[in-house]
Structure formats: C-alpha cells, structure tokens
Structure 1
Amino acid sequence: MGPLEERMILSGMHTVADIFCCCCGDNVGWKYESEHEKDQKYKEDKFVLER
C-alpha cells in the first residue's frame, strides 16, 4: 500500500491509500482508510479494484 492521502472522489472527500500489485508493482486500486461523512463510514477498510 502507498501512503495515506486525502482524495476527492465522486462521493466526497476520503482518506485513501493506493494499493499495488505485489508482482509487477502497478497501481490496481485503493483502500478507504477513514471517512469524513457519517453516511460514508461503511466504506472504511474496504478496497476498490480498478479494471
């Protein structure tokens, strides 16, 4: 995982960390670390894999 950063996503501001492939090192998505909005708390500690 990469360093934590604040990122604006469609659903608002989130604290996320990029995740990388352990074989090739490519960025494959991100992990939600913490949420600023109460209605977005369900996303904490979840991963998003991009195609």
Structure 2
Amino acid sequence: MESNYTPAVKKKTEAGYASVWDNNTILSLVYLGLLLCLLHLLRGLIDCMAY
C-alpha cells in the first residue's frame, strides 16, 4: 500500500520544495535590495547630521 503512493508524494514534495526555494530566492533578493536602499539612506542621513 505504501509503495503505491510514495513516488507521487515524493514528486509532489520535491515540486513544492522547488517552488518554495524559488519564492525564497526572489524574496531574499527583494529584501537585499531594500536593505541596501535603507543602508544608503541611513548613510546619507548620517552624512547630513555630521555637517
């Protein structure tokens, strides 16, 4: 009984992991971009305060 549905489940979980990994990659890239923007803004703010 187990061997009947195991391959299908395995395939499904692999596909799920792939899509999750893709989503996480896109999300991490977006977060990285936002973080860089924030750091840039913070540096500008600190420069303004220094003067």
Q: Which structure's CA Rg is the greater one?
A: 2
Q: Which of the five TM-score ranges fits, normalised by the shorter chain? A: under 0.3
- Ranked by relative contact order (alpha carbons within 8 Å, sequence separation 6 or more), the top structure is 1
Q: Which structure shows the bigger proportion of residues in helix conformation?
A: 2
Q: How does the TM-score come out when normalised to structure 1?
A: 0.17
